[in-house]
Amino acid sequence: MKDEPEVKVGVDLAGLKLATPILVASGTYGWGTEFGEIEGFSGAAIGAMVLKGTTLEPRQGNRTPRIVETAGGAGILNAIGLQNPGVEYVINHYLPRLKDAKAKVIANVAGATVEEYGKVTERLAGHERIDAVEVNVSCPNVKRGGMHFGADAKVCAKVVRRCRKGTTKPLIVKLSPNVTDVRAIARAAVEAGADILTVANTVLGTAIDIHTRKPILGSVSGGLSGPAIKPIALQKVLEVADLVRDEGLDTPIIASGGIMTAEDALEFMIAGARAFAIGTVLFADFNAPERIMEEMKKLLVELELADVNEIVGTLERE
């Protein structure tokens, strides 16, 4: 029997070297240990885990209901509200449990003010187990009437600059798709010190109960994820990749949004992403990383590619 050709799947994101291009997205993988309690789970294909969003002080999160599955199973609306025990608890209780983790560990920071972002970044990035920091700029800015930090290029830049001051480790900025021009926000983030861009966060949405005529989610609106948003996320990745290319930048892109299969992932990589994050699929298939990795290797062999990096940014427009 002929052996399958060896396919290289390692990627380098601005010095953050991953064994595979697969990340598990923040908020879908807990604090990095919960999935290990599931019988039959294997995390061997995970290149990096992004921990749950962390703030300076504990947050209780939004009132329930917090999650709604959309019609046809095409996605999930979530409005968790960044429930977390606060940065000190995370450092003292969760990070020590990851000392033997093989995947890279990425902290996800959030805040209500620019200074809070900076302080959380400093505390988490200072821990030896944290390999990189992802900044969630989709949080409401309490000093600007609740407008998200990632909705305005200048405000986004302030957050990134403050976080950049707090660490020399790779800094990832997770962009929101709920903006008119994602390229303007991406440019501002890179100019302010972002090493890597995650494109993109969830799409704003809501759901209504026709019998009560009330919103189903306790907070009215939430973030839509899953296959329903894949075309939107793919378009955003393409726009940011065009910006990176046209302006001569070398900023890696992590794609995020509706990836369920290896074909989905390769679409994003062809558009210009060097890695990709999966999230909602984990609720339906906890071993999705292994399945997607196996599928991807087979597809790369079919495409006569020996290295996953060879497919990045190869979109033919004509």
CATH number at residue 96: 3.20.20.70
**Annotated catalytic residue 156:** no
Residue 145's region, left for phi above 0, alpha for psi from -120 to 50, else beta, is left
Separation of alpha carbons 2 and 127, rounded Å: 46
52 backbone dihedrals φ, ψ, rounded to 5°: -60, 150
- Predicted confidence band of residue 68 (pLDDT cuts 50, 70, 90): very high
Question: Which of these, 221, 219, 169, lies nearest to 196 by C-alpha position?
Answer: 169
| Contact yes or no for 52/30 (Cβ under 8 A) | yes
Q: How confident is the model at residue 73 (pLDDT cuts 50, 70, 90)?
A: confident
Q: Listing from the earlier edge strand, what are the strands of the sheet with 67-69?
A: 67-69, 76-78, 221-225, 203-206
pLDDT band (50, 70, 90) for residue 71: confident
pLDDT at 4 over 80: no
Pairing of strands 67-69, 76-78: antiparallel
Q: Is the Cβ–Cβ distance between 225 and 205 less than 8 Å? A: no
Residue 189 lies in a domain: yes
pLDDT of residue 146: 64
Question: Domains in the chain: how many in total?
Answer: 1
Q: Is residue 232 part of a domain?
A: yes
SS3 content of the chain, % helix, strand, coil (to 5): 35, 20, 45
Segments forming the whole domain that contains residue 244 = 11-61+81-202+224-311
Cα separation, 92 vs 88, in Å, equals: 6
Query: Does some domain include residue 211?
Result: no
Q: Which of 133-142, 226-235, 257-266 has the lowest mean pLDDT?
A: 133-142
Of 11, 16, 124, 139, which one is the catalytic site residue?
A: 139
Average pLDDT over residues 264-274: 99
CA-based nearest residue to 54, from 78, 28, 26, 29: 26
Residue 99 lies in a domain: yes
What's the burial of 51, exposed, middle or buried (CB within 10 Å: 0-12/13-18/19+)? Answer: buried
Residue 1 resides in a domain: no
CA angle (272 as vertex; 171, 161 as ends), nearest 5: 20
Taking 90 as the threshold, does the pLDDT of residue 222 lie above it? yes
Q: How far is CA 231 from the centre of its chain?
A: 16
Cα torsion 147, 150, 156, 162 to 10°: value is: 90
- pLDDT for residue 3 is more than 70: no
Query: Domain for residue 188, yes or no?
Result: yes
Phi–psi pair at 60, nearest 5 degrees: -80, -20
User: Residue 2 — pLDDT band, cuts 50, 70, 90?
Assistant: low
- 207 in a domain, yes or no? no
Instruction: For residue 206, name the pLDDT band (cuts at 50, 70, 90).
Output: very high
Closest CA to 178 of 197, 143, 155, 150: 150
Residue 3, domain member (yes or no):
no
As a whole number of angstroms, the distance between CA 186 and CA 196 comes to 10
First and final C-alpha spacing in the chain: 40
